[in-house]
Structures are given as structure tokens and as C-alpha cells.
């Protein structure tokens, strides 16, 4: 089988599945299973990291078919938002980086002579979306995904727009679509709100809106330097300000006051506050050496230079608390070496074990330079210790003796009331849109948003979550927490592709807000294409999704046959709810919580989602995959580079759902050998005759018991979403059993045994490696293995006694080998002594007793000093009790043992020159070697 062309096998079975419509799901009397994974965004090719989620999803879908479910596994394409529009605009402008990137993307799929022509067509956003949707479809087919492609759609199609309008009208009627003032992530270039889908890396590294406290420090001319902080309670320990002398700062009018901030901060403030007017630009060096007044106690503190201050983070002004901030402490120590400053840290937080926290942590870690990367670690240690154990001291006025963990917003609110501070919003990390434009926080006056705060909605959300299955289970608790803190979500923007906002012209529904309940569309998309778009009214969707209204009346109104309406409604009613949604943890706090909350708000409980499974991401050679690192492997290249089934197997067994997968080339080669060995085993056994049960030896029965047990366990593991364990069990563990058997029996006999269990084995293995299983299956059957159901396993062959006997034999051989190794003997005869009957009787009597009671109870049965010695031996050996006739087993395997050790085997003979026999205990014979 090693010489077989796996790529040809893959293409053959993918073609045959498609020709036979093997995965097209229709309403039937069978129990249904509606399974979905997120539709991909069509702004570029997918890579092997994306493929992990889709592959595990396909494995689940295929296994559910084996369980006898009528499985619907559909797919669509996400097009809405600004990213695809930004790509088209960048290519139209000839931006070199974008042009080069998309030339590379096109070249993954097309010949070199077509690249420029296709790239030129990408000036149209629609062409970008259509190209990648088509190529991703090809990728998914090439990966062997068992998708019903009739139901595909994209999110800018008119029928989808109608569906989204209906969703928003339902939410509007519930009173949760509102217009108001709210801080949002925002692109200045696009003049529009941006969400996770619009932000580069936003799906895996969330960009949150963070509220900073902007504290005023008064200059001599009456203006204020504004320093932003996330820890306003540390204001009591300020010793100085830091400012970047090379950066540009501006003066601006904020109400009646004049503020000084970095040029970048002023731009952000202009989109966060009313009546902000910039009127002067100044170099940061102008402020170095000036004295400012902190407004809490009126102390004067100097402004000092610091190149580490980033003018594009916060306000470009940082206040220094060297007693509690390691960065500030080291920076102040550095500047004191070159300047005669009398500044000393001011301790304001008492923590047991510290006198001056920042100083001591730096000394303990040996940090002496501002460039030491360990400063970040030192900061985390101090902040954590202060948060959990710190208490504000007497220097903090009315807040003295308050624990840091309890301070919450009290200091911030007090500073605002005293007109010492204001609010400034910043992103949680520096971010750009997928088009490369800067992302900031803006506070828009008339922003449309979804209000998730109503109590009735929270209660429904928690009820839905509580009734669901989550795997891994920890994510249920996470989701409850997310439902609790979910508040306001911008749901519309002024620019981008998507559904027009139904309540105000000029707005487009935001891309994550339009992808919350789209699973419902999968159930009917193929049927909607038979209807005119004008028929897809609010009443139409009410009838189909909510069973509101009368089909005959609506038929007259829409001029659509009532039978057609009922068929569409019945299709939805059969398939819904979504039985399982499979995705990745980064979607928990955005897509998944919206998915659940919108279902809770719009649909009755009978249509609520039932389960969510999540798998972690994939990295390559220990590093995150990204184009900039040059370590991305396109999904389109998997078949050529590795083979699809090898990739699927790697995804299945290299980590459980909760663990990141590390793609390593050396591991793929090792795995290829193991997969080849399994395939060769099947091919080698396929023509073997079945074995007559009456002919089975002990070791034959052992192998059949092990294999059938593996198959039964693997089914149970698949059902519990423990795919890694199932894969390891059905491949690695089963092959270990085969190899062990081959040490005991000849190859021809192994062929017969493998052949007897091979068909069941192939079926249960097929969700992971469907192509090779299909190829071997078709040497025996005409039907597809992909649409089989789980076989009735011949569990009569699963025999605990047979397996225990072999386990006993393995341990005996191991003990003999250890003796030979230690004694360095060439044996001429090996004597084996099994436990006497009285030892077995005592063993049975005390096996379930606590250790402290074993000797006392044994002495009641046999008053002899050897009883105590025996019980101590049993406790020391920690033997797992099972019934076994030891002499019978050893006698049966006497010839095997003799061959194994090349000498005669004696069983319970009188010859016992060293008195070994008395040490025999049940299940652990005593051994003496002549040599």
C-alpha cells in the first residue's frame, strides 16, 4: 500500500461522493442531527490552522451518520463588513503590499499567466468574495468534508438580506435596538465602527474598549498636562511625570480648560468628546524640567524625559509611581545617575513581605536596566500581590485602610467629582483594520446598537446556556459569565458590504450582528431560490420560523403556492434546532454569545441550540501561524504536501479539544508511517479466510477481545467528543495489540483474525480517514462506507478473563527477565512457584478490606506467623484482585515460556533450594533460576 497514490484515492472518492449526492440531507423518518461550523470569511485563502476546526467538525458529522442520524452539515460564506471592500480599494489604489499579498494568494490556486488578470478583477469587492468563496469550496471538497452544498449562500445575497431584516425587526420589536452615545472601536479612514471581523487578527486577539482615567496636572500657565492611567488609586504616590521629548504634543480646548496631550491622543479625544479644539503644536522637549502641581494634595512634581513613553498609547503623558511600578522605579534610578534629583519613591500601599515593592522586586530579579524584558514580569508580580494583598495606607486620605481588591471605582469617581480627572478610552491593544487602517475608540452620538442589558434577556440567555451541553465543560461557566457582562454592541455602520439597516437609510448592519442566527437559513436556502425575493417578507419568515400565521392566507398575499410555503416551513421544523455548533474559543465572547442571545430572544425554547463544542487553535513549529512569519500552509496545499487523510489524522490525535495543536513536520512523517502500517495491515488481510471459532487458541481470543474492546471504547469516546483518545485507541493501541500478537503467532493466523474484525474496524475508523477506508471497503462492498451505520460488535469476544490471563503472563515474563538481568544468568531451567490454596483463600477474604484491618481479619482465619508475612507481601505488592488458576495458565503457556527463555520450565516442583516458594502470593509467582 505504500506505493499507492493517496492523492488519486482522495480525488476518486470525492468525485464519487459528489456524483452520488452522498451527503445531501433530506427529511426522513430517521432521527435528525443538524450540525454547523462557522462559515468562513472570503477575504483570502484558508490555512491548516483554520482547517483544524472544520476537520474536527467533519469527523463529528461523519460519526453521527454512523450512529444512524440523518445528518445535515451545510456551509455558506461570510462576505459582509469592510475587509473585502478595503481589499478592493487597496488593489484599485495599487498599494504594493496588498497587491503582492493577493498575487501570492491567487497563485496558490491559479497558473502564473492568470494571476494579473484575476488581480485586476479584484478592484471589485464582489469579485474578491466570489473568487475566494469558490476556492474555499474547492478546498473543503478536497479535504473530504461531508457537506450538503445545495444549501450554500453568501451574506450579501438578496434572500439573506431579507432574512437579516426580519431578524432585526424581531429585535426592534423587543425594544433592544436603540440609538445613542456609546464608545466603540472605530476606523477614522473608513469613518465607521469596526468589529472583530474588520480588525486584523480580531477573531483570535480580541480588541476591547478600555476606560482610562485621565488625570490633570497643572502647569504654571494654568493649562494641564493630562496623564492616562488604569490605576487611579496610585495617584497618591506620584513623584513625577514622564514625557517623550521627541514626540509631538498639542494644546487643545476642552470646555473652559486647556489640556496638553500627544498629537495622537488629541485625534482620539476629538472623536470621544464634544467641543475639543486643537490650537497649538509643541515638541515634548519644551515640557522637560517644568514643574506641575498634582491636584490631590497640591504637591509640586517635575516633568522628566522618557523615551519609553509611546505617544500613541494613552495620552502620551505618564505619571510615575516608583514605589509600586517597576518601570518607573528603574527609570527614576537611571535618571538620578545623571541628574541631581532629590526624588524618592512614596509608598502608598502596604503589603506583607514588602517595604518598597518595586525596588525589592527589581533587586530580587536582578533588574538594573529599562531595557530588561523581565520588567514586564516584575510588574505583573507586583500588581498581582498588591491587588490581592495590598491595602492603601495613611497617605491616601479618606481611602486609607481600603484593600486594593475592594477599591473598584471609588477613587476614579472621587477624582471626577473633584474635577481632577476625566475619562479617556483606549483600545486594549494597538490594532489596524484588515485594510491596514488604524483602529481607535470613538464615542459616537447617534450610534445604533443592540442593548443586551434587559433583565428578561439575561434570564433567557442563562436559561438557554444552562440547558445546553458544552465540551469542554468549562466553557459553560465561561458563557454564563459572558452573558452577565454583555452590555451594548454597535450593530450598524456607515460603510461596508451587507444588509441595509431597516430603520435608517445610509447605515449597513455590522458583520457580526448579521451572523448570529444564520443557521436557520441552511434549513431552507435551497428552497428559497425557487421564490421571488419580494415574497420573503416579515410575514413569510414569521410563518416559517415562528409558526405564526396561516399558509393559505399568506399564499394569497404573496402569490406563492401554499404547498410550497408548507414545504419550506416543514423543512425548517424538521431540522431545527441546531443540534451542535462546533467552533473555537476566540468566538465565545462575540459570535457565540450573540448566537445564543439572539436565539433566546427570537425563537421559542424548542428551537434553541442544544450543544456547543470548541477546539483550540493550531500553531506551527511552536509559533503562531501568520503570513509575516512565512509559516502558513494553505489548506489548498494539504493534499499535495501531506495527503488529506494524514492531515485529518494529525488534527484528530495530536491534541484534545482543549489543547493547542503544534504542527511539526517531523511528526507528520512519523504519523505517515503509522497510517501506512494500518493501511498495509488491512490490505494484507483482506483476502484471508475467516477463522473457525472452534479453532481459536487463547492468544487468538485475547487479540479478538482486545480489538473488539478497542472498537467499543472508541465508539464511546467519539460520542463524548474525545476524538483524540478515540483515534489513539483505534490506531496506535490496536496496532500495539497486533504487534504483541505477532510475537506469539504466525502472520497467516494474524491475517485471519484481522479479517474477521476488519469491516467493523474500518467503519469506526472512517470518520477520521474516510478516503483510505472507502478505498479498502470497496474491495469488499459496493456501498459507501461513509453512509454506513455502526456495526453490531460481537461483544461475546470481549473476555475479561482471557485478557487478565495474558496480562498475568506478561507480568510473569517481565519478572523473569528482571531476575535474569540482575543475576546475569544464562538459565538452564526456570522454576515457577504459584501461591498455595490457603493464600488464595486469605486473598479473597481480605481483598476489599482497608489495609489497617487486613492482618486482623486474616489472623481470624489462619492463626500462623506466616499469615502476617503473607498479608504484608500482598499489601506491598498492591495486587489488583482477579480470579485465576495460575498453574493451569502457566501449564498451558509452558511451551511458549520455554521458547521465550530457551530452557525448561518447571511448575510447582519440589525442587526449591533457596526456599523461594514461600514468597509466592496470588497473581505474583515466586521464581528460581538454575544457571
- pLDDT digit string, tens, across residues 169-213: 999 999 999 999 889 899 888 778 888 878 888 877 888 899 999
Band (pLDDT 50/70/90 cuts) for residue 927 is: very high
| Helix residue ranges per DSSP H, 143-243 | 158-173
Q: Of 54, 53, 55, 73, which Cα lies nearest the Cα of 64?
A: 73
Q: Give the pLDDT confidence of 335-349 residue by residue, as tens digits.
A: 988 787 888 999 999
- pLDDT for 340 equals 77
Band (pLDDT 50/70/90 cuts) for residue 434 is: confident
Give the mean model confidence (pLDDT) for residues 559-581.
Answer: 97
3-class SS shares of the chain: helix, strand, coil, % to 5: 50, 15, 35
- What's the distance, Cα to Cα, between the start and end of the chain in Å? 47
Band (pLDDT 50/70/90 cuts) for residue 3 is: low
Band (pLDDT 50/70/90 cuts) for residue 603 is: very high
**CB proximity list for 893: less than 8 A, separation 6 or greater:** 698, 809
Give the torsion through C-alpha atoms of 390, 391, 393, 395, to 10 deg: 80
Give the mean model confidence (pLDDT) for residues 133-148.
Answer: 97
Band (pLDDT 50/70/90 cuts) for residue 860 is: confident
d(CA 516, CA 497): 17
DSSP letter string, 339-381:
S---------EE-TT-SSHHHHHHHHHT---TT-THHHHHHHH
Give the mean model confidence (pLDDT) for residues 321-337.
Answer: 93
Query: Looking at per-residue confidence, does 353 or 57 come out higher?
Result: 57
Burial class of residue 364, CB neighbours in 10 A (0-12, 13-18, 19+): exposed
For residue 497, list its beta bridge partners: 81
Starting at the earlier edge strand, list the strands of the sheet with 618-620. 623-624, 618-620, 661-663
d(CA 735, CA 745): 15
Band (pLDDT 50/70/90 cuts) for residue 425 is: very high
d(CA 547, CA 56): 34
- Crossing angle of helices 593-602 and 474-485, in 10° steps, is 70
Give the mean model confidence (pLDDT) for residues 347-372.
Answer: 93
For 104-138, letters b (16+ CB in 10 Å) and e give ebbeebeeeeebeebbebbeebebbbbbbbebbbe
d(CA 310, CA 244): 7
- pLDDT for 1 equals 41
**Whether the predicted pLDDT of 516 surpasses 80:** yes
Q: Give the pLDDT confidence of 256-280 residue by residue, as tens digits.
A: 999 999 999 999 999 999 888 999 9
Average pLDDT, the chain: 94
- pLDDT for 678 equals 96
- pLDDT for 574 equals 98
d(CA 562, CA 543): 11
d(CA 489, CA 498): 17
For residue 186, list its beta bridge partners: 193, 440
- On whether the CB atoms of residues 301 and 456 are closer than 8 A, the answer is no
- Crossing angle of helices 474-485 and 455-466, in 10° steps, is 170
* Sign of the C-alpha dihedral computed for residues 719, 723, 728 and 731 taken in this order: positive
Q: Give the pLDDT confidence of 735-756 residue by residue, as tens digits.
A: 999 999 999 988 899 999 999 9
- pLDDT for 627 equals 72
Q: Give the pLDDT confidence of 74-111 residue by residue, as tens digits.
A: 999 999 988 899 899 999 999 999 999 999 999 999 99
**Whether the predicted pLDDT of 799 surpasses 90:** yes
Band (pLDDT 50/70/90 cuts) for residue 2 is: very low
Q: What angle do CA 75, 78, 83 make, to 5 degrees?
A: 155
Q: Give the range among 219-228, 337-346, 507-516 with minimum mean pLDDT.
A: 337-346
Band (pLDDT 50/70/90 cuts) for residue 131 is: very high
Q: Give the pLDDT confidence of 367-394 residue by residue, as tens digits.
A: 988 888 899 999 999 999 999 999 999 9
Q: What angle do CA 210, 388, 406 make, to 5 degrees?
A: 65
- pLDDT for 653 equals 96
Give the mean model confidence (pLDDT) for residues 816-823.
Answer: 94
- pLDDT for 201 equals 80
Q: What percent of the chain has pLDDT over 90?
A: 84
d(CA 555, CA 557): 5
- CA distances 616 to 146, 656, 660, 667, 717, Å, are 22, 9, 5, 19, 19
Band (pLDDT 50/70/90 cuts) for residue 4 is: low
**10 Å Cβ neighbour count for 150?**
14
Q: What percent of the chain has pLDDT over 70?
A: 99
- pLDDT for 798 equals 96
Q: Of 665, 669, 652, which Cα lies nearest the Cα of 615?
A: 652
Query: Of how many residues is the chain composed?
Result: 931
Strand duo 439-451 + 469-471: pairing: unpaired
DSSP structure class, residue 636: G
- On whether the CB atoms of residues 809 and 889 are closer than 8 A, the answer is yes
**Whether the predicted pLDDT of 628 surpasses 80:** no
Amino acid at each position: 500500500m505504500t506505493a499507492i497514490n493517496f492523492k488519486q484515492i482522495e480525488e476518486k472518492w470525492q468525485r464519487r461522493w459528489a456524483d452520488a449526492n452522498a451527503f445531501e440531507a433530506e427529511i426522513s423518518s430517521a432521527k435528525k442531527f443538524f450540525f454547523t461550523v462557522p462559515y468562513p470569511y472570503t477575504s483570502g485563502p484558508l490555512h491548516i490552522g483554520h482547517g483544524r476546526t472544520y476537520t474536527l467538525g467533519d469527523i463529528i458529522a461523519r460519526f453521527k451518520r454512523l450512529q444512524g442520524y440523518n445528518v445535515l452539515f451545510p456551509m455558506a460564506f461570510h462576505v459582509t463588513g469592510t475587509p473585502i471592500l478595503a481589499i478592493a480599494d487597496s488593489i484599485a489604489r495599487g498599494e504594493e503590499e496588498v497587491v503582492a499579498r493577493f498575487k501570492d494568494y491567487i497563485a496558490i490556486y491559479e497558473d502564473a499567466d492568470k494571476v494579473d488578470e484575476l488581480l485586476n478583477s479584484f478592484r471589485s469587492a464582489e469579485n474578491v468574495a466570489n473568487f475566494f468563496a469558490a476556492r474555499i469550496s474547492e478546498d473543503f471538497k478536497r479535504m473530504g468534508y461531508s457537506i450538503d452544498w445545495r444549501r450554500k449562500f453568501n451574506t450579501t445575497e438578496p434572500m439573506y438580506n431579507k432574512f437579516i431584516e426580519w431578524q432585526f425587526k424581531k429585535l426592534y420589536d423587543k425594544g433592544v435596538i436603540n440609538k445613542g452615545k456609546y464608545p466603540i472601536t472605530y476606523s477614522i479612514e473608513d469613518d465607521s465602527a469596526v468589529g472583530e471581523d474588520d480588525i486584523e487578527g480580531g477573531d483570535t486577539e480580541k480588541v476591547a474598549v478600555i476606560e482610562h482615567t485621565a488625570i490633570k496636572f497643572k502647569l504654571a500657565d494654568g493649562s494641564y498636562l493630562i496623564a492616562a492611567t488604569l490605576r487611579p488609586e496610585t495617584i497618591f504616590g506620584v513623584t513625577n511625570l514622564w514625557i517623550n521629548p521627541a514626540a509631538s504634543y498639542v494644546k487643545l480646548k476642552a470646555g473652559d480648560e486647556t489640556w496638553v496631550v500627544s498629537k495622537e491622543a488629541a485625534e482620539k479625544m476629538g472623536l470621544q468628546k464634544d467641543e475639543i479644539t486643537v490650537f497649538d503644536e509643541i515638541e515634548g522637549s519644551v515640557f522637560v524640567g517644568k514643574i506641575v502641581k498634582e491636584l490631590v494634595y497640591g504637591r509640586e512634581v517635575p516633568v522628566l524625559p522618557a523615551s519609553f513613553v509611546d505617544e500613541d498609547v494613552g495620552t502620551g503623558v505618564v505619571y510615575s509611581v516608583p514605589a509600586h511600578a517597576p518601570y518607573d522605579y528603574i527609570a527614576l534610578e537611571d535618571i538620578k545617575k545623571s541628574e541631581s534629583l532629590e526624588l524618592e519613591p512614596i509608598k502608598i500601599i502596604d503589603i506583607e513581605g514588602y517595604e518598597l515593592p518595586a525596588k525589592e522586586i527589581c533587586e530580587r530579579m536582578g533588574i538594573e536596566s529599562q531595557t530588561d524584558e523581565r520588567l514586564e514580569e516584575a510588574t505583573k508580580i507586583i500588581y498581582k500581590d498588591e491587588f490581592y494583598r495590598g491595602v492603601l495606607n495613611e497617605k491616601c486620605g479618606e481611602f486609607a485602610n481600603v484593600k486594593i481588591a475592594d477599591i473598584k471605582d471609588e477613587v476614579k469617581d472621587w477624582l471626577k467629582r473633584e474635577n481632577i480627572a476625566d475619562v479617556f478610552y483606549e483600545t486594549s491593544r494597538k490594532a489596524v483594520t484588515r485594510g491596514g487602517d488604524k483602529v481607535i475608540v470613538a464615542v459616537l452620538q447617534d450610534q445604533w446598537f443592540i442593548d443586551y442589558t434587559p433583565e428578561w434577556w439575561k434570564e433567557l440567555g442563562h436559561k438557554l446556556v444552562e440547558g445546553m451541553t458544552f465540551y469542554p465543560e468549562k466553557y459553560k461557566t465561561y458563557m454564563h459569565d459572558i452573558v452577565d457582562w454583555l452590555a451594548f454592541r454597535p450593530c450598524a455602520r456607515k460603510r461596508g458590504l451587507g444588509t441595509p439597516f431597516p430603520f435608517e437609510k445610509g447605515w449597513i448592519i455590522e458583520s457580526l450582528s448579521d451572523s448570529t442566527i444564520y443557521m436557520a437559513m441552511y434549513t431552507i436556502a435551497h428552497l428559497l431560490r425557487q421564490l421571488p425575493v419580494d415574497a420573503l417578507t416579515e410575514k413569510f419568515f414569521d410563518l416559517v420560523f415562528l409558526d405564526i400565521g396561516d399558509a393559505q392566507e399568506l399564499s394569497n398575499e404573496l402569490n406563492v403556492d401554499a404547498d410550497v410555503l408548507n414545504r419550506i416551513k416543514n423543512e425548517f421544523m424538521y431540522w431545527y434546532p441546531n443540534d451542535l455548533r462546533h467552533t473555537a474559543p476566540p468566538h465565545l465572547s462575540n459570535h457565540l454569545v450573540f448566537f445564543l442571545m439572539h436565539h433566546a430572544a427570537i425563537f421559542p425554547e424548542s428551537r434553541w441550540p442544544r450543544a456547543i463544542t470548541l477546539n483550540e487553535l493550531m500553531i506551527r513549529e511552536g509559533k503562531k501561524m501568520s503570513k509575516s512569519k512565512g509559516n502558513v500552509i494553505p489548506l489548498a496545499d494539504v493534499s499535495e504536501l501531506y495527503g488529506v487523510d494524514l492531515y485529518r489524522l494529525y488534527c484528530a490525535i495530536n491534541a484534545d479539544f482543549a489543547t493547542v495543536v503544534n504542527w511539526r513536520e517531523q511528526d507528520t512523517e512519523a504519523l505517515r508511517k503509522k497510517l501506512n502500517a494500518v493501511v498495509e495491515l488491512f490490505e494484507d488481510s483482506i483476502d484471508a479466510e475467516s477463522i473457525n471459532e472452534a479453532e481459536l487458541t487463547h492468544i487468538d481470543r485475547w487479540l479478538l477481545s482486545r480489538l473488539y474492546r478497542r472498537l467499543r471504547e472508541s465508539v464511546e469516546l467519539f460520542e463524548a467528543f474525545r476524538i483524540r483518545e478515540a483515534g489513539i485507541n483505534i490506531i496506535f493501541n490496536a496496532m500495539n495489540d497486533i504487534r504483541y500478537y505477532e510475537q506469539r503467532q504466525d502472520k497467516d493466523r494474524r491475517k485471519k483474525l484481522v479479517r474477521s474484525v476488519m469491516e467493523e474496524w474500518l467503519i469506526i475508523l472512517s470518520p477520521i480517514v474516510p478516503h483510505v477506508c472507502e478505498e479498502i471497503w470497496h474491495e469488499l462492498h459496493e456501498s459507501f462506507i461513509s453512509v454506513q451505520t455502526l456495526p453490531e460488535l460481537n461483544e461475546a469476544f470481549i473476555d475479561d478473563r482471557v485478557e487478565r490471563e495474558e496480562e498475568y503472563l506478561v507480568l510473569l515474563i517481565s519478572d523473569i527477565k528482571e531476575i535474569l538481568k540482575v543475576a546475569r544468568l544464562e538459565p538452564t531451567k526456570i522454576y515457577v512457584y504459584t501461591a498455595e490454596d490457603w493464600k488464595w483463600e486469605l486473598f479473597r477474604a481480605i481483598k476489599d478490606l482497608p489495609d489497617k484491618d487486613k492482618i486482623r481479619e486474616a489472623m481470624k482465619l489462619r492463626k500462623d506467623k506466616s499469615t502476617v508475612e503473607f498479608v504484608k507481601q500482598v499489601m506491598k505488592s498492591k495486587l489488583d484482585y482477579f480470579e485465576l488458576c495460575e498453574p493451569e495458565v502457566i501449564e498451558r503457556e509452558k511451551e511458549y515460556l520455554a521458547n521465550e527463555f530457551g530452557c525448561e520450565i518447571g511448575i510447582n516442583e519440589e525442587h526449591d533450594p533457596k526456599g523461594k516458594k514461600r514468597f509466592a502470593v496470588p497473581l505474583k509467582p515466586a521464581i528460581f533460576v538454575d544457571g
